[in-house]
Amino acid sequence: MLSDLERDALAELGNIGIGRASTALGRMLGGLVTLSVPSVEMVPPDTVAGLLDRALSPPLVGISERLGGLFAGCALLAFPQAGSLPLVRAALPPGVPADDVPELEDEVLAELGNVVLNSALALVANLLGEPVDTGLPAVLRGSAAEILRRCSGPVPTADSAAVLFHIDLRTSLPNGNANGDSSDEGGVVGGRVVLLLDAGSAGALKATLGRYIGRLVA
């Protein structure tokens, strides 16, 4: 597991990466988007489903990508399904008929997840001086356990780990907020970015964080 110093360093890196993702997502949605990363933790993989179900409101939507390089395993952006359609509507052109939105939902969600995960992870990996490779996004639905089983992550072992970034997605969107109304205050969608890391990658991440911290204090 992470030490306090490693956790703080990873949280700060996550904040920087999510800041870039917020900008990219705001351009895609055509409004102000703020993605906050208040905390981060490394936990055993078999505890992730319970943590997600307690933190979010099932059923959930997850966008997953296979990872290689520094973060070998699977990346997952998960949030309540109730918040997905308003985000999809905001990402589509105003002229798209409402009846067509459900048919386009998975395609738009895949792109939204791709923007968030790739923007954040690429910047974090670059700051750590390590490469990261990402695969094509896949949209998953169901309970946290169902989504995690289909996330194509590594088979959990005693030495594997999961990294959870706790996110609040705040929006002020021209086509309605994240809760689907027209309030100027915007909406909030709680979510998590989960990195399911294999045993070798979990150890490599800790070692890389140690070198990063050493450079900062040198």
For residue range 179-209, list pLDDT tens digits in order: 444 333 456 667 888 888 887 888 888 889 9
pLDDT at residue 137, rounded to an integer: 92
Report DSSP state, residue 140. Answer: E
Cβ neighbours around 88 below 10 Å, total? 21
Kindly give the pairing relationship between strand 138-142 and strand 73-80: unpaired
17 contacts 123 by C-beta, under 8 angstroms: yes
If one counts the domains in the chain, the total is 1
- Amino acid 93: pLDDT: 81
Regions in the chain scoring below 70 on pLDDT:
37-38, 152-159, 171-189, 218
Q: Render pLDDT for 15-30 as a digit per residue (tens, 0 to 9).
A: 888 888 888 888 887 7
Tokens of 123: 């910047």
Question: How high is the pLDDT of residue 188?
Answer: 66
Phi, psi for 164 (deg, rounded to 5): -110, 125
pLDDT for position 176: 46
Contact in structure between 190 and 168 (CB atoms under 8 Å): yes
Its domain, for residue 122, covers: 4-217
Taking the whole predicted model, whether its pTM rises above 0.85 is answered as no
**What is the structure's pLDDT at 94?**
78
CATH code of the domain in which 191 resides? 3.40.1550.10
